[in-house]
Amino acid sequence: MLVSVPALGGLLTTGCSDTFRPPTVRSGLIGAADVLTMSTSRWLQRDQPLAREFGREHIAPEFPTWGQTNPDDERYQQHVSEQFRHWALPVGGLVQQPRSFSLADIKALPARTQITAHVCEQGWSAIAEWTGAPLSLLLEAAGGVKPEARYVVFHGVDRWYESIDMFEVVHPQTILAYGLNGEELPVGNGAPLRLRVERQCGYKNIKFIQSIEVVDSLAGIRRGTGGLSSDFGFHWFGGV
């Protein structure tokens, strides 16, 4: 019985592109929910609407710092003390021209500022203003992605890792943020660079990004589900 339920979910999305299907599905009933949640969200979002943006008056007086707030890593602490002047972000894998970006390179890309609600799966939410470079523009600056590219994987200094698919990558609000509420992104919130992926829960918004890798499959990333949280049982698709 339990086997047939995910099979039903699979059937519903058979013939649709990967956009509607999670790369991995948990077992049992919850697996059926994984497929239905993602396929339904993606159907509703098929025209890539923006997540709700708010007015300045809704910004929370203090945006929380949560999870890892100051990685205990010697090189990272060195970068903090140098205000990230010598920090660089390698972008590799399935891009036409793998390269590194300094923080100044990233800030030189056309910026996007958005006031959005962050929704943590652990029961809190807060509205803040984020400024950063659209991920799609960064990938373009690396020559664009190769035709077989399907996911972008982010690695954090604290060994956190996450991935998103191309549907999320091309969304205009998917940015690599270096600014929070008009200031430099604080260490507690992931300095110098963190992902904002506004249609997904807190855990997908990886902080302390230290490298980016474009891949055709998530199977080779640690335990194979594409993220630290999903490797430990969360749904890879963290749709809000």
For Mo ion, the binding residues in 199-218 under the rule CB under 5 A are 202-203
Residue 187 in contact with Mo ion, rule: CB under 5 A: no
Residue 158 interaction partner, one of ligand MTE, Mo ion, none, beta carbon < 5-8 Å per kind: ligand MTE
Report how far residue 44's alpha carbon sits from residue 224's, in angstroms, rounded to the nearest whole number. 28
Residue 236 in contact with ligand MTE, rule: CB under 6 A: no
Residue 120 beta carbon to Mo ion: minimum distance, rounded to whole angstroms = 3
What contacts 136, CB < 8 A, 6 or more positions away?
Answer: 169, 170, 174
Residue 68 in contact with ligand MTE, rule: CB under 6 A: yes
Report how far residue 208's alpha carbon sits from residue 77's, in angstroms, rounded to the nearest whole number. 12
Q: Are strands 88-93 and 209-215 parallel, antiparallel or unpaired?
A: parallel
Residue 208 interaction partner, one of Mo ion, ligand MTE, none, beta carbon < 5-8 Å per kind: ligand MTE
Q: Choose among 180, 186, 206: nearest CA to 195.
A: 206
Residue 195 beta carbon to ligand MTE: minimum distance, rounded to whole angstroms = 8
Q: Choose among 214, 207, 232, 211: nearest CA to 222.
A: 232
What contacts 170, CB < 8 A, 6 or more positions away?
Answer: 48, 136
For ligand MTE, the binding residues in 134-173 under the rule CB under 6 A are 156, 158, 160
Residue 202 in contact with ligand MTE, rule: CB under 6 A: yes
Among all chains, which residue has been given the structure tokens 């991935």?
163
Q: Which two tokens stand for residue 148?
A: 């077989």
Residue 129 in contact with ligand MTE, rule: CB under 6 A: no
Write each residue from 104 to 123 as x if it is in contact with Mo ion (CB under 5 A), else as -, in one continuous string.
----------------x-x-
Q: Find the farthest-apart pair of alpha carbons in the chain and give their distance in angstroms, rounded.
A: 59
Residue 156 beta carbon to ligand MTE: minimum distance, rounded to whole angstroms = 3
Residues of this chain that interact with ligand MTE (CB under 6 A) are 64-68, 120, 156, 158, 160, 189-190, 202-203, 205-208
